[in-house]
Amino acid sequence: MRLMPLREALAAHVADGDCVALEGFTHLIPFAAGHELIRQGRRNLHLVRMTPDLIYDQLIGMGCARRLTFSWGGNPGIGSLHRLRDAVEHGWPQALELDEHSHAGMAAAYCAGASRLPFGMLRGYLDNDLDKANPRIGRIECPFTGERLAAVPAINPDVTILHAQCADREGNVAIRGIVGAQREAALAAGALVVTVEEIVERLEPAMNGIVLPHWTVDAVVHCPGGAYPSYTHGHYSRDNSFYQRWDAISRDRDTFNAWMREHVLETNDHAGFLASLRAEAA
């Protein structure tokens, strides 16, 4: 593990065309890292996330993605992700291939990926059109009972990027609160980059808490506020009013582009992004 600045960590680990998962289920969404991928102009990414959320709306709208693996693509409690919709409905700014699942299917695929099994299995996708729309949803027969079950190929991203509360100097990462499928996405990946609110000398013994041990972590980045406008439990809460405002910002291509230029492309880093939002609010 190396403690690195965000720019260097992503330049070292994410290349154009990679399969990248920025996980975190509503909580701990790695916004700072997503913005840095946009600043670095990454292209043709295969993005993986259960809930694309605003960060993938931004990556898709900025033309970074060619393919999306996902299971629910809305703005939670608000409505549509307009950039995702524009890409699917009108191919703007480019066409987006969909690899669409249910939450249960994607969870099974991440678990298989973390275990380095070829596929995940569930009693799911029963009598619906998802398996007609997606050839990557298959069926397998149980060798013991004969029951037919759904099978989904394991998800093994080239790189998984997470945000977490803290890491110690060895690179052990502790996550608490709503953990989604972060642990599974982390252990499924070829490389793991984690941004954290703080670096501590030693983590408290975690007992049943979730720790990603240092030998599974490739880079740790100290990045306070790195999940904003998502949240980091124990540090700051979700900015629900920003999620509400995003609906208007993202609805129109020009408004979206102007917002991304001002707050992401023309800021140097995440501290600059946060400061630009604060300046606008003042």
Site for another protein in 236-255 (CB under 8 A): 236-244
The single residue among 73, 113, 157, 171 that binds another protein, judged by CB under 8 A, is 73
| CB under 8 A, 24+ apart: contacts of 255-263 | 256/61, 256/82, 256/83, 257/61, 260/38, 260/58, 260/61, 260/62
Of residues 163 through 202, those in contact with another protein by CB under 8 A are: 177-181, 183-184
Look up tokens 């803290």; give the residue.
166
Q: Which is nearer to another protein, 126 or 258 (CB)?
A: 126
CA angle 72–78–84, rounded 5-degree value: 50
Strand 138-141 versus strand 148-153 pairing type:
antiparallel
Beta bridge partners of 148: 141
Of residues 2 through 61, those in contact with another protein by CB under 8 A are: 25-27, 50-51
Give the shortest CB-16-to-another protein separation in angstroms: 26
In this chain, which stretch among 4-12, 85-93, 215-223, 258-266 interacts with another protein, using CB under 8 A? 85-93
Counting contacts by CB under 8 A, is residue 119 touching another protein? no
**What angle do the packed helices 31-39 and 270-281 form, to 10 degrees?**
100
Q: Which is nearer to another protein, 240 or 255 (CB)?
A: 240
Counting contacts by CB under 8 A, is residue 84 touching another protein? yes
What number of chain residues touch another protein (CB under 8 A)?
Answer: 73
Q: Give the chain's end-to-end CA distance (angstroms, integer).
A: 40
Of residues 126 through 165, those in contact with another protein by CB under 8 A are: 126-130, 133, 147-149
